[in-house]
A and B are shown apart, each in its own frame.
Chain A
């Protein structure tokens, strides 16, 4: 009997990991919308993950919430479940399943690079690794994020009459970027689109100091040139028309592909990602000691090929509708 099937259902106990449709019991690895769906009867996850779900979907988005800490083992019948930090965003976790001497780790979304807004990734030894593959091609090698944010800090000095609009996802990326600005010596106001407000406040409440933030309101559009963070969709749309002199930027792992940058009309691409790049993915696969690798969530084919060349048992695990980075 399988322990885990292709839908990430833990078969012996009928618990799903990040299910796309409402189920009885779910483990949620992190609070991004393509992993955390509302409507489950019972959800298990880190405190942060579940709190953000409540913040976004409302207090009744699941029937029952069960918080667990990293490293805290939970036993359900013959299966024991432990969450380990994934380094992706606040509260993000990998799931370790232990069943009859077999260890499976589901990484969820993860990165191993430094990020002071999330608990650092922890390598967990296992027999089978279910890994994400958002950047599962060797073209993806994320540079030092400090170097990336300095592109903006350099540009605001030269283009001091222009607003710098940066496209970021509201949860995780936005706060990490703000933190990076602070760590690189920028302590002035950073303006945020209304859609980012709630989550930024949440991070602050959790003791992650983001410095001086101002929500952009009708009255503050035309004040001094500024750094503005907004969801990527807003940058390309009517919302951005109100800024007369502006430079458009975006922070994402895709930004290392020039064609893509050009097509999206982005002037300053910031290659900053919350996902593991090719080197991180392959290193994790080698170091975790697993002989079976299931690849999901992204460019599976390349990573499966690489694993096979290394003599590992690898296969793609297709989960529909999960591709783009969040």
Chain B
């Protein structure tokens, strides 16, 4: 079984990229785990989910090597044609004799344990023994991102299928392991008690809220069962405060501690907290734009720190002194949170306040008043008092009652085929508004319609195509969409100068004529973005 391990991994990657359906990709992974030993299968998971990076060699090093082996001009022409470095090199590498490659884990360990020069030599020796597909897979491993269409979520689903366990169980402990996940695989394969993880070093998957359907849901829900809080327009974070350190995770589990050096907290008890990271002085949140000045920065300058100071508003508590509080009800957790907060008051830390209300009408009034007067709220959160803290989006527990979406009438300009099940349908739409007499695209949407509507839209695109650019069709500019979106901001990246947040089709206006669509200047004026 251990033999031909790198070969098997290459075949897995190839089969995965050729599989259009998510389920098929997952099946392939499960099959692979069954046929592969530790630690190879764990390394495979790490590579596929991008949790492991082999960075000592770059594609430029490899480019130099290949250019010494083949005519550099033919290499450049080939690269121009293929467009992908790993693939071009794999196709041009002078083929010798196919010989057995090393195992995946040997390969990875070699990368970590040896000098760049040794690694380069080793790599060449492996490429010499490999088939084209194997060369492609090997090069893909370190030229950054496999991009084979398997998300971390799908990898977890494949693990849950492999071990025949609940996805939830994997989610809960996933972040407690690191590659090559030997303990995790051993548990999945042999069963037994759920493996223990270090709570204070691990991201715990977050609980998320459902969108409320304000027309129907309130009739069914009792106001007495719920607490209301503001939904702040920042980023959700998990905060782990122990005696020795503070760790901040984003909602995807990325460690973002280093981007926020001012957020270092003290505690009398070890805690795992849930909150919102915001930017603004004196615990007053500024706009989302201000926050963006702080995101994705590795180094933070003094100026930025002063101008855009960060702080956290706490929502919830998950652990206190290694005690898992997630199975307690929200109101009890809230009490514990308040107690901890009151005995650990410090700079840059705030508590999200509870909004008092008698009935839904009451709350609606509060919502309307505050949302109109200020931009800092994204809406209201409703949390069932007896809700346990369950990862994912459990039905009927937490609701977000966002600002009503904004909308704009725009005209369909281009359509593109979708993926997977939608691959024979033109399901991705680019729409535009008027800019003087011309049309300018302002966004793309691929949701918001029913299957019947998709059928109709697909027919419309086919009948009204005026030009084709590869997979994209330009259509007659006659069909009007009402596009809903969450917010709008200035953008240098788009020709229109605007970027919509989460645009989707709210109505297809078969009845409207394209003369009635919105004008770029009016939009900019209306949202004060000129």
Hey, which bits of chain A sit against chain B, CB under 8 A? Answer: 137-139, 141, 236-238, 240-241, 248, 256-259, 261-263, 265-269, 299, 301-302, 305-306, 309
The CA-CA distance from A241 to B20 in the complex, in Å, is 15
Q: Which chain B positions have C-beta within 8 A of A266?
A: 18
A–B Cβ pairs within 8 angstroms, 13 of them: A139-B88, A139-B92, A236-B424, A256-B132, A258-B17, A258-B136, A262-B17, A265-B419, A302-B74, A302-B77, A305-B71, A305-B77, A306-B74
A301 pairs with B77, CB closer than 8 A: yes
The CA-CA distance from A258 to B73 in the complex, in Å, is 22
**B471: nearest residue on chain A (CB-CB)?**
A263
Q: Which chain A positions have C-beta within 8 A of B91?
A: 138-139, 141, 256-257
**A268: nearest residue on chain B (CB-CB)?**
B18
Of B19, B71, B84, B88, which is within 8 A of A267 by CB?
B19
Is B165 interfacial (CB 8 A cutoff)? no
Is B82 interfacial (CB 8 A cutoff)? yes
Q: Which chain A positions have C-beta within 8 A of B54?
A: none
Q: Mark B61-76, 1 if CB is under 8 A from A, else 0.
A: 0000000001101100
Q: How far is the CB of A225 from chain B (nearest CB, A)?
A: 16
**B148: nearest residue on chain A (CB-CB)?**
A262
The CA-CA distance from A236 to B136 in the complex, in Å, is 27
Q: Which chain B positions have C-beta within 8 A of A305?
A: 71, 73-74, 77
Knowing A236-B424, A256-B91, say if A309 contacts B20 (CB, 8 Å): no
What's the A-B contact tally at a CB cutoff of 8 Å? 67
Is B81 interfacial (CB 8 A cutoff)? yes
**A236: nearest residue on chain B (CB-CB)?**
B424
Knowing A257-B87, A258-B87, A262-B18, say if A138 contacts B423 (CB, 8 Å): no
Is B476 interfacial (CB 8 A cutoff)? no
Q: Which chain B positions have C-beta within 8 A of A256?
A: 91, 132
Of A238, A258, A261, A268, which is within 8 A of B424 by CB?
A238
Q: How far is the CB of A193 from chain B (nearest CB, A)?
A: 16
Identify 20 new A-B residue pairs, CB closer than 8 A, beyond the known A138-B71, A138-B92.
A137-B74, A138-B70, A138-B91, A139-B88, A139-B91, A237-B424, A238-B424, A257-B82, A257-B87, A257-B91, A258-B14, A258-B87, A262-B17, A265-B419, A267-B18, A267-B20, A268-B18, A269-B18, A302-B74, A305-B71
Q: Which chain B positions have C-beta within 8 A of A299?
A: 77, 81
The CA-CA distance from A305 to B72 in the complex, in Å, is 11
The CA-CA distance from A257 to B136 in the complex, in Å, is 11
Knowing A139-B91, A241-B424, A259-B87, say if A302 contacts B78 (CB, 8 Å): yes
Knowing A267-B19, A302-B74, say if A137 contacts B87 (CB, 8 Å): no
Is B193 interfacial (CB 8 A cutoff)? no
**B89: nearest residue on chain A (CB-CB)?**
A139
**B458: nearest residue on chain A (CB-CB)?**
A238
**B17: nearest residue on chain A (CB-CB)?**
A262
Hey, which bits of chain B sit against chain A, CB under 8 A? Answer: 14, 17-20, 70-71, 73-74, 77-78, 81-84, 87-88, 91-92, 132, 136, 417, 419, 423-424, 471
Q: Which chain A positions have C-beta within 8 A of B18?
A: 261-262, 266-269
**A235: nearest residue on chain B (CB-CB)?**
B424
B71 pairs with A309, CB closer than 8 A: yes
Q: How far is the CB of A64 from chain B (nearest CB, A)?
A: 38
The CA-CA distance from A280 to B20 in the complex, in Å, is 34
Q: Which chain B positions have C-beta within 8 A of A236?
A: 417, 423-424
B20 pairs with A265, CB closer than 8 A: yes
SS class, residues of chain B in contact with chain A: helix
B83 pairs with A259, CB closer than 8 A: yes
B17 pairs with A306, CB closer than 8 A: no
Top 4 closest pairs, chain A to chain B, by CB: A139-B91, A302-B77, A139-B78, A265-B20
The CA-CA distance from A148 to B81 in the complex, in Å, is 23
Q: Which chain A positions have C-beta within 8 A of B78?
A: 137-139, 302
The CA-CA distance from A301 to B78 in the complex, in Å, is 10
Q: Which chain B positions have C-beta within 8 A of A139?
A: 78, 81-82, 88, 91-92
Q: Which chain B positions have C-beta within 8 A of A241?
A: 424
The CA-CA distance from A267 to B77 in the complex, in Å, is 27
The CA-CA distance from A248 to B71 in the complex, in Å, is 36
Residue among A137, A257, A268 with max Cβ neighbours from chain B (10 Å)? A137
**B132: nearest residue on chain A (CB-CB)?**
A256
Q: Which chain B positions have C-beta within 8 A of A309?
A: 71
Q: How far is the CB of B88 from chain A (nearest CB, A)?
A: 7
The CA-CA distance from A262 to B84 in the complex, in Å, is 13
Q: How far is the CB of B196 from chain A (nearest CB, A)?
A: 40
Q: How far is the CB of B335 from chain A (nearest CB, A)?
A: 53
Q: Which chain B positions have C-beta within 8 A of A237?
A: 424
Q: Which chain B positions have C-beta within 8 A of A262?
A: 17-18
Q: Which chain A positions have C-beta within 8 A of B424?
A: 236-238, 240-241
**B420: nearest residue on chain A (CB-CB)?**
A265
A265 pairs with B423, CB closer than 8 A: yes
Q: How far is the CB of B416 from chain A (nearest CB, A)?
A: 12
Q: Which chain A positions have C-beta within 8 A of B81?
A: 137, 139, 299
Q: Which chain B positions have C-beta within 8 A of A258?
A: 14, 17, 84, 87, 136
Of B17, B20, B74, B471, which is within 8 A of A138 by CB?
B74
Q: How far is the CB of A263 from chain B (nearest CB, A)?
A: 8
**A269: nearest residue on chain B (CB-CB)?**
B18
Q: Which chain B positions have C-beta within 8 A of A238?
A: 424
The CA-CA distance from A262 to B87 in the complex, in Å, is 13
Q: How far is the CB of A215 from chain B (nearest CB, A)?
A: 22
**B75: nearest residue on chain A (CB-CB)?**
A138
Q: How far is the CB of A228 from chain B (nearest CB, A)?
A: 16
The CA-CA distance from A314 to B88 in the complex, in Å, is 25
Residue among B91, B92, B136 with max Cβ neighbours from chain A (10 Å)? B91
Q: Which chain B positions have C-beta within 8 A of A137?
A: 74, 77-78, 81
Q: How far is the CB of A236 from chain B (nearest CB, A)?
A: 7
**A302: nearest residue on chain B (CB-CB)?**
B77
